[in-house]
Amino acid sequence: MWLPFGKLSGSVRTMDGMQRGSGMKEQLVSAIQLQEIELDPQPKNETAEEVKEPKTYSVEEAVETIGFGRFHVLLFVIMGSANIVEAMEIMLLAVVSPEIRCEWRLQDWQVALVSTMVFLGFMVCGVLSGYVADRYGRWKVVFGGFVWGAYFSLLTSFAPSYGWFIFLRSMVGCGVAATSQGFVLKTEFIPAKYRASLLPLASIFWMVGSMLIIILGMTVVPTLGWRWMIRLSIIPSVILIFLFQFIPESARFNVSAGNVKGAVETLQQIAKMNRAPLPEGELVEPVVNERGSCYILVSSTFRRTSLIMWYSWFVASFSYYGSVLSSSELLEKNLLCITDPDPEHHVKHDQGEALCYCIPFGMADYQTLLISCLGEIALIPLNISLLNIVGRKTSMVILQICSGIFFMLVLVCTTMFGFTVLLFLLRSLVSMNFNVVYIYTAEVYPTAVRSIGMGFCTSFSRIGGMIAPFIAQVLMSRSVVLALLPFALSCFLCAVGALLLPIETRGRALLQNS
């Protein structure tokens, strides 16, 4: 059909437009489909972006990743040697008691007051050193304790009178309280799975310290006197002042105080010594503002735990020093019910009615004390097994019950050999229990209050140490049964308290904050 040119060209343009429109429509659909295809994998891109976020790790993760190595061997030896110093200062009281009784013609209560004043200094400075350690660092407190204790122990050897002697020994107690924070410092560096095995081994160092002071008593006192024994006893403290420079500040404390850089440097140093890598990423821990707050200890979270542990520490110290001082008193005054006493012990027993000031230890007495010291480490394998198999709480229950039973067995008449065996096993049990309460306390409290928590506990333990001399040294002279009964009953009651503890810490990571 014929159409005018204008209409024809318009029709052609219309058809071209339709074709172009159709092509554009196809391109637009294709573009939309392509866009939909590209949008589908978008969640994968978001996941990739999440993976690229900076990695972080905590001090607990770093300690566990680094694991056990050469640094921990060095830590174990140096910090364990701090127990040598503490043991020597405490056991010195049992060895020197007969000597000062003779020199200043002291009565029983005056001899007991010496130990009480030492533990009074320990009690007062225990909380103070714990607060300072949580606020300003564990390392400074422990180092200061070494210097303080060595200085005042040296001054003790020049004491011109009984009054000066008990004052200076109480100052030594303050130094010992500060050095006990070394247990917290050591615990915060040890991975969780090694704590139950390594921490009980500290008993080896305590036994070494106890034996050293007894050996000094055997060799130095008869020839040079008790003053030179004290002067020679500070040598380990002086050595540790120099060795302690190799131990860094706790990384857990540094991050809680906001010193992340210092914590990283410490962890890098440990990783280098152990030849182990650090976790990937950046160390991130929240800053803890309420460090050293005693209110956390009595908060709803920790109130029951704190109350039971305060009594547990009281009993641990009361029973331990009760066993040490009781054995010393029983040997010195021959109050034992033994079936084969030697002539020397017969003489002492016959003089029991008289006012006898000078009854120094004989060689056989020193040997009995030495053998009993071996009880500190005899049952370490059993201690480690209990901690790993039944846990901390059940271990405390078992050990307290057994300690109470053995306190009563001392009353049974036996040979001198039998008494030595009983004393050996009793020292083993009370020492094992002390280890368990130390470990549990260091594990149950968070970093923010770990030192002050330990400080409060050690202060309550020193109350037990203050009372023990009056039971073991004063009441013992009047009735052996009445003197040993309080130690046994307190152990049985403490076993009941341990059953009520709400937290078991076996295999648990150390808390950073509450």
Q: What is the pLDDT of residue 341?
A: 56
Q: In the numeric block, which tokens belong to residue 70?
A: 């050469």
Q: What is the pLDDT of residue 229?
A: 92
Q: What is the pLDDT of residue 483?
A: 86
Q: In the numeric block, which tokens belong to residue 171?
A: 């100052």
CB 146 within 8 A of CB 78: no
Q: What is the pLDDT of residue 53?
A: 66
CB 448 within 8 A of CB 514: yes
Q: What is the pLDDT of residue 353?
A: 45
DSSP conformational letter for 474: I
Q: In the numeric block, which tokens belong to residue 285?
A: 């821990």
Q: In the numeric block, which tokens belong to residue 268?
A: 């890098």
Question: What 3-state class would DSSP assign to 299?
Answer: coil
Query: Which residues have C-beta within 8 Å of that of residue 100, sequence separation ≥ 6?
Result: 106, 111, 114, 162, 165, 226
CB 178 within 8 A of CB 347: no
Query: Which residues have C-beta within 8 Å of that of residue 318, sequence separation ≥ 6?
Result: 464, 465, 467, 468, 487, 490
Q: Please tell me the distance from the alpha carbon of residue 59 to that of residue 389, in angstroms, as a whole number.
A: 27
Query: Can you say whether the dihedral through the CA atoms of 321, 466, 362, 237 is positive or negative?
Result: positive
Matching residue, tokens 């709803």:
300
Q: What is the pLDDT of residue 49?
A: 47
Q: Where are the beta strands (DSSP E) in 182-315?
A: 282-283
Q: Please tell me the distance from the alpha carbon of residue 284 to that of residue 267, in angstroms, as a whole number.
A: 13
Smallest CA-to-CA distance from 188 within 72, 28, 37, 53 is with: 72
Q: What is the pLDDT of residue 495?
A: 95
Q: In the numeric block, which tokens belong to residue 10?
A: 């318009």
Q: What is the pLDDT of residue 35?
A: 47
Q: What is the pLDDT of residue 334?
A: 63
Query: Which residues have C-beta within 8 Å of that of residue 341, sequence separation ≥ 6?
Result: 334, 349, 416
Question: What is the CA 174 to chain-centroid distance, rounded?
Answer: 17
Q: How does pLDDT run along the chain (514 residues), one tens digit per residue?
A: 444 444 434 444 444 554 555 555 555 445 445 444 444 454 545 444 445 567 888 888 888 889 889 999 999 888 888 888 888 887 887 788 888 888 888 887 888 888 788 888 888 888 888 888 888 888 999 999 989 999 999 999 999 999 999 999 999 988 888 888 888 888 888 888 888 788 788 778 888 888 899 899 888 988 898 999 999 999 988 888 888 888 899 888 888 888 888 989 999 999 999 998 888 888 877 666 566 567 788 888 888 999 999 999 999 989 988 887 787 777 666 666 665 555 555 554 444 444 445 666 677 777 777 877 777 777 788 888 888 899 899 999 999 999 999 999 888 777 777 877 888 888 889 988 988 998 899 889 888 788 888 888 888 888 888 888 888 877 877 788 888 899 999 999 999 999 999 988 887 877 766 5
DSSP 332-384: HHT---BSS--HHHHHHHHGGGS-----PPPHHHHHHHHHHHHHHHHTHHHHH
pTM value is: 0.71
Side-chain-side CA neighbours of residue 161 (13 Å): 2
